[in-house]
Amino acid sequence: MKKFLFRLGGILLPLGAVMPLFAPEVASFVFTAGALLFCPLQINDAYEGSNLIIRRLRRQQVLGAMLLLVTAGLMLTQHFGIPPFRSSEWKVTLLIATVLEVYTIFRIDSEQKKEDAGS
Per residue in 62-74, pLDDT (tens digit) is: 999 999 999 999 9
How far apart are alpha carbons 29 and 31 in whole angstroms?
Answer: 5
- Tell me the CB-side half-sphere exposure of residue 8, using CA atoms within 13 A: 11
Domain count along the chain: 1
Return the closest-CA partner of residue 99 out of 54, 73, 68, 78: 68
User: In the prediction, which pLDDT does 119 show?
Assistant: 65
pTM: 0.94
Enclosing domain of residue 83: 2-118
Q: Low-confidence residues of the chain, pLDDT below 50?
A: none
